[in-house]
Chain A
């Protein structure tokens, strides 16, 4: 027979074991895991806990098997249900909450994409805790760094929330590699209400080019391009370099390119090996999205453009002359 004391210690230990687990909610398109989830898994690992991943969706099983092979993933919870098609936050949140009820995670996290930023704060509300978004550094299980004011201030915070609800900036963490062998199991069942919102359709920009967020090289165009047609100069250069294509907000607002190409504080944050800014002045809101790039090249006819203050290589030239020349010079 076990003494009362032993039982108590055991329960305490069990509870502890449970508390030391972090959940990452996976983002995917029903066939492939979104790359940002791999960055989030790395960040979650820095919290010092076991990492579990929840995959929800109409075809979650297939993605769950991919996730199980990711290094550092101990357990994969799968919630496959037609109601979870397109992963509306109103429907995914109950699954996260049911999982939390069963496993008592100490942190619930995701990548800081439109998906993660829509879901994590909603779950935080349900758990009555304050969430922290777009974390760029994990110092310990409760202290983190994030940026403010379009990246012009860096804030270190300590959270006293009972459960940490976090999103991680993808470009700030290396993607987790293959090599894991996590156990795949069914997520606890949840009541998924379907009456408040419904997915009607989707229109994705089609592109053969590397994804902007993960491309090694990004070529971006701004208002200096003067028209959507002229953006072909950017595409031609990008194709020679195998680069993704980005844009400033001015180029988006003027209708030269779709908004999902916007780089900046309120667009995408990129940190490629090489970023080439063409006809972009370098407003603080634009710099917020690209100033962590390894090498920055700027082509602009105005030598006083602020972009030159962050560029490693500046070329003062008329882009309509310089860009075709550059494209031609690249074999």
Chain B
């Protein structure tokens, strides 16, 4: 029952450790160090947001609302989203402690509540968050809502007849001042009645094994000799 002309789009944005940061695992193995580390909007959420704003510019959507579930600093990425063209923002609040234990499942359940209470017609999410690398929130939400899903979208068009046509891969900011004037609504998670009890407990987080560099060879013939030695090339 997708009506392109009156479509309201909800866009999920997550605050994550910036992609350029070299992360460190905590010595107590409980997680990775996030304090004092550069954070930014998950790059794939930026893409989702851009696409939603483009649809609005083409008059295929009426409203673009940014959503984030997380600790107090999530409002930073919501401000960024407003600066990049979202009309409104919704922050569902949890403590940092709770945020660190959230699973895609909880995010999807929270999104479902918002979609239903505020009557959204479409939800745009990034294909994965670069911290957890789970790639699950969108298909869980689609399942909860009983809505169709189109993952790894590379093109979104009007499909006619109340449909959206999506091509999938089988895998400059505006003024920040203006952004601050746009509404940002904060809702404590308790008010939504979403159960965020973990189903997945972290036992430990460790560093991956480090690869040892093998050094340089002089030239192409030395490289060929090595490849022969290792049996990749017939001698």
B200 contacts A259, C-beta separation under 8 Å: no
Query: Is B177 on the interface with A (CB-CB < 8 A)?
Result: no
Q: How far is the CA of A285 from the CA of B133 in the complex (A)?
A: 11
B135 contacts A122, C-beta separation under 8 Å: no
B23 contacts A153, C-beta separation under 8 Å: yes
Q: How far is the CA of A10 from the CA of B214 in the complex (A)?
A: 61
Contact A315-B171, Cβ < 8 Å, known A125-B140, A153-B25, A154-B207 = no
Query: Is A132 on the interface with B (CB-CB < 8 A)?
Result: yes
Q: Which of B17, B151, B234 neighbours the largest number of chain A CB atoms within 10 Å of its CB? A: B151
Query: Is A295 on the interface with B (CB-CB < 8 A)?
Result: yes
A330 contacts B224, C-beta separation under 8 Å: yes
Q: How far is the CA of A94 from the CA of B234 in the complex (A)?
A: 52
In the complex, which residues of chain A have a beta carbon less than 8 angstroms from the beta carbon of B3? none
The residues in B between 121 and 170 inclusive whose CB is less than 8 angstroms from any CB of A are: 127-128, 130-144, 147-152, 154, 165, 168-170
Query: Is A265 on the interface with B (CB-CB < 8 A)?
Result: yes
B32 contacts A149, C-beta separation under 8 Å: yes
Choose one: A122, A266, A274; the contact of B143 (CB below 8 Å).
A122
B232 contacts A131, C-beta separation under 8 Å: no
Contact A148-B140, Cβ < 8 Å, known A90-B149, A153-B25, A197-B148 = no
Query: Is B103 on the interface with A (CB-CB < 8 A)?
Result: yes
The residues in A between 95 and 117 inclusive whose CB is less than 8 angstroms from any CB of B are: 113-114, 117
B232 contacts A114, C-beta separation under 8 Å: no
The residues in B between 185 and 222 inclusive whose CB is less than 8 angstroms from any CB of A are: 198-208, 211, 213-217, 219-221
Contact A311-B213, Cβ < 8 Å, known A89-B149, A131-B140 = yes
- Interchain nearest-CB distance for B157 vs A (Å): 11
A118 contacts B223, C-beta separation under 8 Å: no
Residue numbers of B with Cβ under 8 A of A are: 17, 19, 22-23, 25, 32, 44, 103-106, 108, 127-128, 130-144, 147-152, 154, 165, 168-171, 198-208, 211, 213-217, 219-221, 223-224, 226-227, 230, 232-234
Query: Could you list 9 A-B pairs, sorted by A, with CB under 8 Å?
Result: A122-B139, A131-B105, A157-B202, A160-B200, A160-B201, A265-B130, A303-B216, A313-B214, A313-B226
